[in-house]
A and B are shown apart, each in its own frame.
Chain A
Amino acid sequence: MRPGRGRRLVRVGPVSAQVDLRAAACTALALGALLVLAGWGLTLGRFPIPAGDLVRALVGRGDRETAFILLELRLPRILTAAMVGAMLAMSGTIFQGLLRNPLVSPDIVGVNAGATLAAVFWIVHRLPAAGLPAAAFLGALAAAGTIYVLTWRGRIDPMRLILVGIGVGALLNAGTGWLLVRYSIYQVSEAVLWMSGSVYASDWQDVGVLAAGLAVLAPAGAALMGPLRVLQLGELSARGLGMPVERTWLALTAVGCALSGLAVSVAGPVGFVAFAVPHFARMLVGALPSPEFYLFSGALGALLVLAADLFAQHALPVSLPVGVVTAALGGPYFLFLLYRTSVRR
């Protein structure tokens, strides 16, 4: 088989694969930038750490105070921000490809609305904070499951999924709105803080949960990009090619929901990333769904959220939750890209 446009056949011994070189190069570039940004982020803060001390502390030769600040405070937060960004962006890539609609994000399957209702309920009732991520994750899964079941009529119709998603999402949001006007302002402002999405006070437990999720879900999603591309030919063609359409749908939805559900349960609904990063990725490498594209969009999401978090922490007079800054930072760039691509056409 001849490789498609912009793709090269890469052989390593007996194994060969088609690789989209542009996307792969961009991914490498984004990962490099991510590494540099993370390293720089480690040195920033009220207690500045010079690069020399940073390296010493990371290889285990620094003094205890520096090591504590780096390893217990800054590193978990940076890792959390990057992984949350990657997972949201990957989830957005899956859903925009699956529903063949550039306007959707995982919110459409109720992940954010479900997690938010559960978390706000948890917060305004002053339930123990340790259970908050689990409650939010269960809320996300319950919402996504409800929407999937309500949409199911022998098969999943994308348009129907969008409509049911909007409906269920509005119901859940009405519940959240009701909680927000009923409880005292102190609990409510705590809930609003969670709802704005932040990676403040992330610890190694968060990092562990996210890393475990990413280790399973990133390869799973990448492996599903091939079937997704077949699915995009249309359901009839996909069936004609012998694809088990329902099972592929379920697998893609499950991976997408798990990705965004985990991210939201740790950081709250960090807005804009899942919706916008796949657009950035498309505008930059212009690719159909492929494993390279999926990983590129993950790397880009990590970069955006980490940059936004560093900006939110250090560049402003007051430190803000990262979710407040993602749209403020990415929005103008998005509008610029939108303008440029439409003018070029």
Chain B
Amino acid sequence: MPTSPLATDLSSTTHGRRLSGGVARAGLLLLATGALALTALLSLRVGSVAVSSRDVLGALFAYAPESYEQTVVRALRLPRTIVGAGVGAALALAGAGMQAATRNPLAEPALLGVNSGAAFAIVTAVYLGHLAHPLQHIWFGFLGGLGSAALVYAIGSAGPGGATPVKLALAGMVVSALLGSWTTALLLLDQQALEVVRFWLVGSLAGRDLGVFRAVSPFLLAGIGGMLLLGRHLTVLSLGEEAARSLGMHTGRVRALVVGLVALMTGAAVAAAGPIGFVGLAVPHMVRGLVGPDYRWVLPLCLVTGPLVLLGADILGRVLARPGELPVGIVTALLGAPFLIALARRRRGVEP
């Protein structure tokens, strides 16, 4: 089987504009953190109910339950913002981990079949049990995502070569297609399930409360923390199989660990917000373009930039379609696609 040209490096276009040196990178990290704080505040302010900055601060630090505006902030927008931040961070870090572990700049967490596994589990649960409470969806989604990721990894790593990127991608595509076809069959048989699931399937933060965050946060935090510790390993792994081995790394074990963390984080993120595309693909790209391929810097920046992008998209969705809102999964596609196209067009063609 020919090696995949997907594995050519895309970030080569941004040579010469990369920041080098610890001070510049730390400055960038600080800048992004500031921007994230502002975006989070904006996410508390913007929406169909107009809320002043004073009410936002009041709701955060001196909550007065009798104020309608403060209640909106506290009960609706704060949980939504927290869930969005957690999901954004998880998706961006999971994307960075996947791209390094598979040496495929187009890898994204969905490659492991997590999305289709979660969708299949949720639809099956709705079909069989007519679940009422959204928190139940979360557990089915989470377990379904983990299950399909495990299946993809087991199939993709069978045989002497281990989990090569192409085998992993093929297994992921086939398992996704398989689960997707079962999901479609159930949706065709059960209109009720379609009604419940179609809003989940576009990926949205609307109506996510703190119960949702509490349910997924242990997995999100464990995944995020674990991935942040692996910066050095990811840098070595992204040098390629042979280089990493000759540096003394047990690549199979590290790759399995990375994939496990990715499945954990993505499963939790998908369960909480539905399948949201492009954050896991575009954010690591953007970050690598800025600070270069050293994952000790890429990962912390992803941790900050992921939530920044996801919350920004969510705010935009609320502004663009007032008084309703565009689901954040649609906004990330609307924003991410032109970005990807521009990136692709800037790339100089490489003679094969």
Contact = CB atoms under 8 A, between A and B. Distances in A.
Nearest to A160: B344
A180 B333 contact: no
Interface size, A (range) = 35 or more
Interface in B303-347: 326-327, 329-330, 333-334, 336-341, 343-345, 347
A318 B188 CA distance: 11
Nearest to A233: B352
A55 interface: no
A150 B341 contact: yes
Nearest to B170: A338
Nearest to A198: B188
Contacts, number: 188
B10 to A, nearest CB: 7
B5 A335 contact: no
A331 B178 contact: yes
B181 A271 contact: yes
B44 interface: no
A163 B341 CA distance: 7
B282 to A, nearest CB: 10
A327 B345 contact: no
B53 interface: no
B158 interface: yes
A176 to B, nearest CB: 10
Contact of B198 (A101, A188, A320): A188
A327 B180 contact: yes
Main secondary structure of the interface of B (DSSP, over half): helix
B181 A338 contact: no
B2 A153 contact: no
Contacts of A28: none
A178 B330 contact: yes
Contact of A338 (B5, B174, B334, B347): B174
A345 B5 contact: no
B177 A103 contact: no
B352 A170 contact: no
A324 B5 contact: no
Interface stretch (A78-86, A137-145, A189-197, A248-256): A189-197
Given A327-B178, A327-B181, A335-B155, A193 B5 contact: no
A136 interface: no
Nearest to B178: A331
B199 to A, nearest CB: 6
B204 to A, nearest CB: 9
Interface string A147-176: 000110101011110111011101101100
Contacts of A103: 4, 6, 166, 169-170, 173
B6 to A, nearest CB: 7
Contact of B184 (A167, A174, A196): A196
Given A334-B174, A338-B174, A181 B278 contact: no
Nearest to A325: B181
B340 A343 contact: no
B167 A335 contact: no
Contacts of A335: 155, 171, 174-175
A271 B174 CA distance: 11
Contacts of A326: 181
Interface stretch (B55-63, B189-197, B250-258, B262-270): B189-197
Contacts of A324: 181-182, 184-185, 188
B201 A177 contact: yes
A147 B24 CA distance: 38
Contacts of B333: 170-171, 173-174, 177
B123 to A, nearest CB: 12
B177 A150 contact: no
Given A178-B330, A196-B188, A236 B351 contact: yes
B129 interface: no
Interface string A268-280: 0001100110010
Contacts of B201: 177, 180
A159 B350 contact: yes
A282 B2 CA distance: 12
Nearest to B344: A163
B185 A320 contact: yes
Contact of B159 (A174, A178, A343): A343
Given A181-B199, A276-B174, A157 B337 contact: no
A14 B115 CA distance: 58
A61 interface: no
A332 interface: yes
A170 B155 contact: no
A234 interface: yes
B327 A181 contact: yes
Given A168-B341, A342-B158, A331 B352 contact: no
B161 A345 contact: yes
A25 interface: no
Given A170-B336, A173-B333, A188-B194, A101 B5 contact: yes
Interface of A: 99-103, 150-151, 153, 155, 157-160, 162-164, 166-168, 170-171, 173-174, 177-178, 180-181, 185, 188-189, 192-193, 195-196, 234-236, 271-272, 275-276, 279, 282, 318, 320-321, 323-328, 331-332, 334-335, 338-339, 342-343, 345
In the A-B complex, the 3 residue pairs with the smallest Cβ-Cβ separation, listed nearest first, are A342-B159, A163-B344, A157-B349
Interface of B: 1-2, 4-6, 8, 10, 106, 155, 158-161, 166-167, 169-171, 173-175, 177-178, 180-182, 184-185, 187-189, 191, 194-195, 198-199, 201-202, 277-278, 326-327, 329-330, 333-334, 336-341, 343-345, 347, 349-352
Given A102-B166, A150-B345, A235-B352, 4 more contacts: A159-B6, A159-B344, A188-B198, A335-B155
